[in-house]
């Protein structure tokens, strides 16, 4: 009955509005390109981790799979080691195929997965069966996600493998998150939830099931059990340290939990959802806490109390556990490389613990029992990224331009009062668009408005998305300090130190006066900023041109301007502006300017379109500013 019900969901649940990225679980195609390039160049630590992989017995073409019809974890007759060894082999041979291109390894990987999908009927045991469904469900889905692009994997075999995960693993995962084996909701430690969350998310991607994927994301944010983010990192000691739920239990299970939640976050990241940064980098604070303690540092501890068993009998842990302190698991490269090398954040404890593990191995390199196979591993090969450039901008006075719009960061109406809003506005010579940038130490900068003498400030020290950017007298607080992370092309992500978020133009708007606030970083062009030194008109003009050329022919700008359109773009002798679906009001003004702000033409529009004649204008980038009453929209175009 379970099989038919879940198979019915396979069809019913396929409709969704957003397609998944494939491959898109722990690794994307871009990741494999990086791995391949680094291994071929014998670069470290990629090559060191690769050498461990190649020497592992499970990555060999001679490996023989050992499928069974009933996998049992917990209780009498345990045999689940056959499953975790075969999953490690399927994953490791898949990696060897992607990096070398040798199809023999692809064939070996799918042979292992086909053997299991042809054989497995039940996953069972005592309560530990839920660990099997979660850990091995997400791992098997990852091996299959790598191999799904291989032309040698027959469509019928791939479908059968998907259905194995949907009918043998997913029902157990779902049951656990719903019922927790009929126990008190807090009875089971965080890693029980986390592995089943990871499995549901991974199976959702592999099977193109948006409903499963969304269920896992929702549970991460608001789930009742210990795997949701505010229960896993249940107590924040400071802006950098959050107590992990299992820290009073032992450090082996604490690091297991870090590995499971990191895998969840990485898979979500590769589908465009930032769970790493959710709730102001809450996971980072929990990982830093565990890493600091396991590298010999003292961390604060708050008594942890929970309900145990069927009746929620109260239990407490009053001190942090030193059991298994300093244990080695191949999980830390994933965490370190996201926060440090992808996001440019300071994570000293995580960095130190990752160094101790480098280069990482995988299943079979950390003992023969299940703990050595709880992670797929080889993170020094698969997750290592080149560090972001460490050199920040030099101290000086700058104009700061938004990449998506080409407009400048501006103090509204050249105000000087505390709380005066900061917005985007077309570049001009006002000192309200000039900022004194000063390195306050550790590449953390203050930005002081030249016209106001006050600091750029995130309101009320808030860490929430949407917290406003304004000016305020200096307090020395971290909400008035920012890091500048290069994102390519001469642009920076500007990160408030207190929140770890980024400066963002609301809704990627191109409208004059669009608000600037902080938001969780999404790598949007409205979150990229260019710094241009003040003091040379030629330099400022060149910067405007550089930004404007990028956006002037970006067709996505039309929708952001709510239907206003210019054509053709680029233009030669004529340019038409459309105001679709309306007749312009009598007070609609169209102003054509060059990038220096000089007015070339200025006309009133009385209809729904207007034709500009461009003969005699030099080639270059221009802006058309349309003013309708209090509303202003700026449209860029190129004159050829």
Higher-confidence residue of 620 and 67: namely 67
Statement to judge: residues 451 and 497 lie in one domain: yes
pLDDT of the residue at 353? 97
Whether 21 maps to a domain, the answer reads no
The DSSP output letter for 595 is: T
- On whether both 338 and 370 belong to a single domain, the answer is yes
Q: What is the pLDDT of residue 629?
A: 66
Q: Specify if 246 maps to a domain.
A: yes
Residues 492 and 434 in one domain: yes
Of 389, 414, 396, which is closest to residue 539 (Cα–Cα)?
A: 396
Please give the pLDDT value at position 5: 34
Residues 117 and 262 in one domain: yes
pLDDT per position as a tens digit, 108-167:
999 999 999 999 999 999 999 999 999 999 999 999 999 999 999 999 999 999 999 999
Instruction: Report strand pairing: 122-124 vs 70-72.
Output: parallel
Output b/e per residue, 298-311; b: 16+ Cβ within 10 A: ebebeebebeeeee
Q: Are strands 516-519 and 609-613 parallel, antiparallel or unpaired?
A: unpaired
pLDDT for residue 206: 98
Q: Is residue 1 part of a domain?
A: no
Q: Reply yes or no on whether the pLDDT at 586 is more than 90.
A: no
| pLDDT tens digits, 341-352 | 888 788 999 999
The tokens describing 96, both together, are 């060897």
Which CATH number belongs to the domain containing residue 450 in this structure?
2.80.10.50
pLDDT exceeding 70 applies to what percent of the chain?
A: 89
Number of domains in the chain: 3
Averaged pLDDT score across all residues of the chain: 88
Q: What is the pLDDT of residues 517-574, one digit of tens each?
A: 999 998 888 999 988 888 544 344 444 444 444 444 454 444 344 566 777 877 888 8
Per-residue pLDDT tens over the stretch 468-480: 999 999 999 999 9
**Boundary-marking domain end, from 360, 383, 406:** 383
Residue 595 lies in a domain: yes
Task: Report how far residue 73's alpha carbon sits from residue 564's, in angstroms, rounded to the nearest whole number.
Answer: 62
> In this structure, are 118 and 238 located in the same domain?
yes
Cα separations in angstroms, 83 against 87, 183, 506: 6, 27, 49
Domain final position from 349, 383, 417? 383
- In this predicted structure, the answer to whether residue 12 has a pLDDT above a threshold of 60 is no
* Residue 34 falls inside a structural domain: yes
Per the structure, the complete domain to which residue 321 belongs is given by 29-383
The answer to the question of residue 40 being in a domain is: yes
Do 514 and 595 sit in the same domain of this protein? no
CATH number at residue 576: 2.60.40.1930
Same domain for 424 and 353 = no
Is this model's pTM higher than 0.85 or not?
A: no
Would you state the pLDDT for residue 25? 96
Check residue 532 and give its pLDDT: 81
Question: Among residues 509, 544, 579, which one ends one of the domains?
Answer: 544
- What pLDDT is recorded for position 170? 98
Asked whether residue 516 falls in the same domain as residue 540, the answer is: yes
Q: Report yes or no on 5 lying in a domain.
A: no
Considering the domain architecture, whether residues 419 and 525 belong to the same structural domain is answered as yes
In a domain, 576, yes or no: yes
71 and 119 within one domain: yes
Residues 230 and 134 in one domain: yes
| Per-residue model confidence as pLDDT tens digits over 497-529 | 999 999 999 998 988 999 999 999 988 889 999
CA distance linking residue 374 with residue 141, whole number of Å: 14
């Amino acid at each position: 009955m379970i099989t038919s019900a879940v198979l019915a969901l396979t069809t019913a649940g396929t409709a969704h509005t957003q397609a998944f990225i494939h491959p898109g679980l722990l690794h994307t195609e871009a990741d494999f390109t990086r791995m391949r390039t680094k291994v071929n160049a014998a670069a470290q630590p990629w090559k060191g981790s690769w050498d461990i992989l190649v020497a592992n017995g499970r990555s060999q073409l001679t490996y023989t799979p050992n499928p069974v019809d009933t996998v049992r974890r917990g209780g009498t007759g345990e045999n689940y080691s056959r499953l975790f060894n075969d999953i490690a082999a399927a994953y490791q041979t898949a990696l060897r195929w992607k990096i070398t291109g040798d199809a023999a390894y692809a064939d070996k990987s799918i042979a292992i997965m086909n053997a299991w999908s042809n054989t497995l009927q039940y996953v069972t045991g005592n309560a530990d069966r839920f660990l099997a469904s979660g850990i091995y469900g997400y791992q098997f889905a990852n091996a299959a996600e790598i191999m799904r692009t291989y032309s040698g994997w027959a469509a019928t075999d791939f479908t059968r493998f998907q259905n194995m995960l949907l009918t043998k693993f997913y029902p157990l995962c779902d049951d656990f998150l719903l019922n927790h084996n009929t126990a008190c909701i807090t009875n089971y430690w965080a890693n029980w939830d986390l592995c089943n969350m990871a499995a549901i998310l991974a199976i959702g991607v592999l099977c193109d099931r948006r409903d499963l994927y969304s269920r896992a994301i929702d549970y991460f944010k608001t789930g009742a059990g210990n795997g949701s983010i505010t229960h896993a990192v249940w107590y924040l000691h400071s802006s950098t340290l959050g107590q992990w739920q299992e820290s009073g239990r032992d450090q082996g299970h604490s690091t297991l939990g870090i590995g499971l939640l990191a895998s969840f976050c990485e898979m979500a990241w590769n589908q465009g959802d930032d769970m790493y940064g959710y709730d102001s980098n809450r996971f980072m604070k929990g990982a830093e806490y565990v890493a600091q303690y396991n590298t010999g540092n003292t961390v604060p501890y708050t008594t942890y109390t929970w309900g145990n068993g069927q009746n929620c009998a109260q239990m407490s842990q009053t001190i942090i556990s030193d059991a298994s302190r300093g244990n080695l698991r191949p999980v830390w490269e994933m965490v370190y490389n996201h926060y440090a090398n992808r996001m440019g954040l300071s994570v000293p404890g995580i960095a130190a613990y990752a160094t101790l593990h480098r280069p990482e191995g995988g299943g079979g390199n950390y003992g023969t029992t299940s703990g050595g196979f709880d992670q797929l591993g080889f993170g020094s090969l698969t997750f290592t990224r080149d560090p972001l450039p460490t050199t920040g901008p030099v101290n000086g006075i700058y104009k700061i331009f938004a990449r998506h719009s080409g407009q400048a960061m501006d103090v509204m109406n050249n105000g000087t009062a505390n709380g005066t809003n900061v917005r985007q506005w077309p570049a001009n010579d006002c000192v309200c668009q000039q900022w004194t940038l000063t390195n306050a130490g550790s590449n953390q900068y203050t930005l002081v408005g030249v016209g106001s003498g006050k600091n750029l400030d995130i309101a009320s020290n808030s860490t929430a998305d949407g917290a406003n950017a304004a000016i305020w007298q200096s307090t020395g607080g971290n909400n008035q300090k920012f890091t500048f992370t290069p994102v390519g092309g001469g642009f920076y992500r500007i990160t408030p130190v207190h929140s770890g978020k980024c400066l963002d133009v609301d809704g990627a708007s191109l409208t004059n006066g669009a608000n600037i606030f902080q938001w969780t970083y999404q790598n949007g062009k409205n979150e990229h900023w260019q710094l241009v030194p003040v003091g040379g008109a030629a330099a400022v003009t060149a910067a405007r041109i550089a930004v404007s050329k990028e956006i002037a022919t970006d067709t996505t700008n039309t929708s952001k301007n709510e239907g206003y359109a210019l054509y053709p773009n680029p233009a030669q002798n004529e340019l038409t502006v459309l105001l679709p679906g309306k007749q312009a009001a009598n007070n609609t003004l169209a102003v054509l300017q060059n990038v220096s702000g000089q007015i070339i033409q200025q006309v009133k529009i009385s209809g729904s379109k207007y034709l500009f004649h461009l003969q005699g204008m030099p080639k270059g980038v221009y802006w058309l500013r349309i003013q309708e009453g209090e509303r202003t929209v700026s449209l860029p175009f190129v004159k050829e």
